[in-house]
A and B are shown apart, each in its own frame.
Chain A
Amino acid sequence: QKEVEQDPGPLSVPEGAIVSLNCTYSNSAFQYFMWYRQYSRKGPELLMYTYSSGNKEDGRFTAQVDKSSKYISLFIRDSQPSDSATYLCAMIPNTGTASKLTFGTGTRLQVTL
């Protein structure tokens, strides 16, 4: 079983919809939680970063971390066609190699007109 599980999708939604993306994890040492966005044939770019539990909002994006359930979410409001990409969750533990990211497999999102 992988340390981080993520539904690969694809997920197709109409423009303007609210999108919910999720990851579950098994390692209770994970303390830093990120969401990366990856456009086709490009490298991932950091979208959201959360330390420990709680919520973080940035424009149309909200990241939530529930450490008790080992579950993280990314919500996208008023989705746009330009949001069509693969979304990867990533985590770092509070011990071991400082910045060794453990990724989910990524969820491919398609926002249609």
Chain B
Amino acid sequence: GAGVSQSPSNKVTEKGKDVELRCDPISGHTALYWYRQSLGQGLEFLIYFQGNSAPDKSGLPSDRFSAERTGGSVSTLTIQRTQQEDSAVYLCASSLAGQRGETQYFGPGTRLLVL
């Protein structure tokens, strides 16, 4: 079956512009995660959605970052007034029910470059 898909694959933007990154999780997965992968930093947790519960936003680095998940499926990560330090690969993952230790399936990522 289809895995996690993300769009766009690559995004180049100018400093100060807003960007939207999209994630389509695996059908039937109720849990969705966003991570950021920067050079030398590994993957950093950003935000977690589980069903209709309030999202865990504890990893968002600043108030310029926000995310929403509509209808319990597709999610959009928005970065406002982008800065050069926002350049990274943004990865989305989904899992079946968000249980502790459950396998997370990752998408291919969106490579963001802020000039």
Contact = CB atoms under 8 A, between A and B. Distances in A.
Contact of B107 (A43, A49, A99): A43
Contacts of B48: 97, 99-100
8 contacts: A31-B101, A42-B108, A98-B100, A98-B102, A99-B31, A99-B99, A100-B48, A103-B35
Interface residues of A, number: 28
Contacts, number: 74
A55 to B, nearest CB: 17
Interface in B92-115: 93, 95, 98-109
- Interface size class, chain B: 20 to 34
A60 to B, nearest CB: 20
B56 A103 contact: no
Interface string B26-52: 000001010100001111110010100
Contacts of A6: 42
B100 A99 contact: yes
A33 to B, nearest CB: 9
B100 A43 contact: no
Interface in A11-33: 31-32
B101 A49 contact: yes
